[in-house]
């Protein structure tokens, strides 16, 4: 993963320099921005492999930056912010962020999360493609298509879909999904996965309230169904 570009966006220079120090040690090429408008410019022109994005930014806040980026790109985004309520986290994830780290934070933990998220980008072993009815999950292109149209999934949404689709009918607990998709402990914040699944259903299902592909197994987790099988 050495040489991958990571964009750090924060209006606090000390925070930027601290994160930059740890990511440089891991061999990443670090880009920096101190406001939302500059963050968008860097993302569009430099095409980073991952973005660490603060929410409280001058010019354009991090939520708006995330919303705009998700309309243009599937670049992995880790939100970094002093907002700590569960609703704040859910709002960020609902906009398409892949992870959420709260301040004060451990730079070692943040670097570990960057590594974990980048490890889950294209290139892992397994089937090159899965077909299920009108759904195609193309691991080579890191894209999913439904009835010929791209679903425009975030990296985490694509990872979740791939995990479930590879083993249709198997029930995955939230803890298993967290471990397989994200590779570290979310300290009990299981609703992170629920939000990602909700966003995935919005893109995948004709009627997200009555899903045909990803079923909730109440009290346990989720499972993927073969086309035409709704049980």
Kindly give, in sequence order, each residue whose CB lies less than 8 Å from that of residue 224, ignoring residues fewer than 6 positions away: 132, 164, 165, 167, 168, 169, 170, 213, 214, 215
Report whether 187 contacts 128 (CB < 8 A).
no
**If you classify domain 129-224 with CATH, what class do you get?**
mainly alpha
Summarize pLDDT for 160-212 with one digit per residue, the tens. 899 899 888 889 888 788 777 766 544 445 577 888 888 899 999 988 888 88
Q: Which long-range contacts (CB under 8 A, 24 or more apart) does 173-176 make?
A: 173/220, 173/221, 174/221, 174/222, 176/221
CATH number of 5-119: 3.40.50.2300
Q: Does residue 98 have a pLDDT over 70?
A: yes
126 pLDDT band (50/70/90 cuts)?
low
What are the domain boundaries of the chain? Answer: 5-119, 129-224
**What average pLDDT does this structure show over 122-135?**
71
Rounded distance between C-alpha atoms, residue 1 and residue 118, angstroms: 8
- The helix (run of H) or strand (run of E) holding residue 63 is helix 62-72
This prediction's pTM = 0.63
Q: Does residue 121 have a pLDDT over 80?
A: no
């Amino acid at each position: 993963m050495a040489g991958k570009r990571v964009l750090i966006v924060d209006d606090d220079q000390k925070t930027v320099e601290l994160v930059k120090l740890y990511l440089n040690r891991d061999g990443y090429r670090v880009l920096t921005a101190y406001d939302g408008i500059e963050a968008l410019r860097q993302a569009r022109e430099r095409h980073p492999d991952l973005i660490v994005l603060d929410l409280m930014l001058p010019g354009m806040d991090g939520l708006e930056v995330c919303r705009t980026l998700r309309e243009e790109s599937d670049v992995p985004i880790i939100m970094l912010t002093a907002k700590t309520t569960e609703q704040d986290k859910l709002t960020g994830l609902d906009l398409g962020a892949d992870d959420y780290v709260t301040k004060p934070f451990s730079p070692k933990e943040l670097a570990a999360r960057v590594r974990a998220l980048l490890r889950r980008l294209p290139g892992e072993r397994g089937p090159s493609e899965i077909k299920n009815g009108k759904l195609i999950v193309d691991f080579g292109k890191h894209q999913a298509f439904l009835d010929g149209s791209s679903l425009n999934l975030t990296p985490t949404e694509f990872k979740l879909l791939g995990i479930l689709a590879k083993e249709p009918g198997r029930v995955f607990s939230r803890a298993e999904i967290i471990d397989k998709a994200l590779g570290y402990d979310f300290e009990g914040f299981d609703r992170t996965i629920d939000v990602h699944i909700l966003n995935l259903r919005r893109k995948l299902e004709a009627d997200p309230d009555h899903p045909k592909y990803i079923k909730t197994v109440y009290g346990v987790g989720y499972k993927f169904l073969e086309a035409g099988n709704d049980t």
